[in-house]
Amino acid sequence: MTGYAIDWATQYLDFAQKFASRTIWEKKAAFKALFKVVDPGSDPIALQPGKVLNALQPVSKSQSGHAANKMRKNLVAAWYWGVKYLSFPEKNPCQIDRFPETKSPRYVPSEQDFWAAYDAANPYDQRMLLAYLNTAARKRELFGMTWADVDFDNRRVRLWTAKREGGAKEFDWIPMTDDLFATMVEQRKHARGDLVFPDPETGEAFTSRQHYLERLCKRAKVRTFCWHAIRHLSASILIQNQVPLPTIQKILRHKNLTTTQGYIHELDNARDLMAALSRTNKSPRTRSSRPRADLVAVK
């Protein structure tokens, strides 16, 4: 006997602490589903594919095939970790057939709807929304950004991600558009700590803010979109402005896209290309009686 199933889970989750918090939560949820069917005190080597199937089928029915497949993926990874560190057999009982998925395309707002939501926001949130549009950042990348990540002299910002192989945190420097530079200068005037966009009430990093966007979109009378949809909108705007696809992939910092082919352009000239994201010198999409953010142009 190699120990108990709960020991396997505990040790693997300890190892997984290097991953993003969302990933850790998903791995915990996978084991929680498994232990509804499998005795945590049993020998993990005795685990059979049928048990894994019985654990994940209810998830596919009550949640979705996609949710069940995510749990399957995490259990497969946990087993292979056991092969490497706990002398588990190489035949993986968690590698059951994938569940059917019905995927709905992510809703990406139009530019008009984005700016309508922007106009409905207060000045602080306007600056945050503009930063998302002009960096194409993932949600938590701006939530965790500090002033050490803002290089005013070289007009660039540093985005950290854990979405790389092994969960290691890595960073990329992204050029600042004129809009983003002015936004950061204005935000710096209101800074009270190390975080660039902290929760104004607590001074701590935001964790989700999804309900905020729901309320904002309702106030702006536009279809609700999520933070990640702004990242898709950024890419869409760049494509519409004929920015080369390899450059867009570099801006989005996708290292393993199956569609990536050929040479990935460096960001040496990306500041000019990313100017397509800027609202400067564009006709306003919407009109609003709400005050705009005081984004003073900086020469």
pLDDT tens digits, residue range 77-86? Answer: 999 999 999 9
pLDDT, tens digit, for every residue of 131-169? 999 999 999 999 999 999 999 999 999 999 876 566 678
68 and 134 co-located in one domain: no
pLDDT band for position 8 (cuts 50, 70, 90): very high
Q: Is the pTM of this model over 0.85?
A: no
Number of domains composing the chain? 2
CA geometry: angle at 168 spanning 162 and 171, to 5°?
Answer: 60
Residue 201 CB partners (closer than 8 Å, separation 6+): none
Confidence of residue 125 (pLDDT cuts 50, 70, 90): very high
CA neighbor of 119 nearest in space, from 196, 191, 189, 222: 222
CATH classification of the domain holding 131 = 1.10.443.10
Give dist(CA 98, CA 3) in Å, integer: 28
- Predicted confidence band at 213 (pLDDT cuts at 50, 70, 90)? very high
Co-location of 166 and 59 in the same domain: no
Q: Residue 208: which domain range?
A: 111-277
Tell me how far the alpha carbon of residue 34 is from its chain's centroid. Answer: 26
Q: Please, which pLDDT band fits residue 279 given cuts at 50, 70 and 90?
A: low
Instruction: Check whether residue 24 and residue 116 sit in a common domain.
Output: no
Q: Are residues 79 and 124 in the same domain?
A: no
Q: Are residues 62 and 153 in the same domain?
A: no
Q: Which amino acid is at 228?
A: H
Confidence band, pLDDT 50/70/90 cuts, at residue 269 = low
| Pair (52, 175) in one structural domain | no
